[in-house]
């Protein structure tokens, strides 16, 4: 969609119409799903900061090994972003997001079950 030909009045009218629409169950569910995905994502990142200190103190990992573990996580995030970005273009954002959230949740639970 090219908005370069749209007049400022038309854009303002559409914007005003969107602002007047009531918040519905769709919007609440959408916000809940995005919030849940964000919570898991931030939990995963911040959890590693606390685990790193404990793993190093217990002698389970050296500082260099922990650095490689963190780097592997961010490399995985990069490739996941590219892969699921292309998937969202092909299958739709909602389908890709739900699929990604299910995969992430499954592996998070499996990682907890098989902890050493």
Q: Between 93-113 and 25-57, two packed helices, what is the crossing angle to 10 degrees? A: 30
Distance between CA atoms of residues 111 and 80, nearest Å: 18
What is the domain count for the chain? 1
- pLDDT given at position 116: 57
Range of the domain at 74: 25-113
Q: What is the pLDDT of residues 1-17, one digit of tens each?
A: 455 677 887 888 888 88
- pLDDT given at position 78: 92
pTM equals 0.55
Residue at 19 is within a domain: no
Residue at 39 is within a domain: yes
Residue at 86 is within a domain: yes
């Amino acid at each position: 969609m090219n908005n370069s030909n749209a007049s400022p009045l038309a854009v303002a009218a559409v914007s005003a119409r969107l602002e007047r629409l009531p918040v519905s169950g769709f919007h609440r569910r959408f916000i809940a799903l995005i919030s849940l995905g964000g919570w898991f994502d931030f939990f995963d990142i911040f959890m590693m900061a606390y685990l790193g200190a404990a793993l190093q103190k217990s002698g389970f990992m050296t500082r260099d090994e922990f650095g490689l573990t963190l780097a592997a996580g961010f490399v995985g995030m990069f490739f996941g972003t590219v892969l699921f970005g292309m998937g969202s273009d092909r299958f739709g954002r909602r389908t890709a997001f739900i699929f990604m959230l299910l995969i992430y949740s499954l592996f998070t639970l499996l990682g907890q079950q098989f902890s050493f």
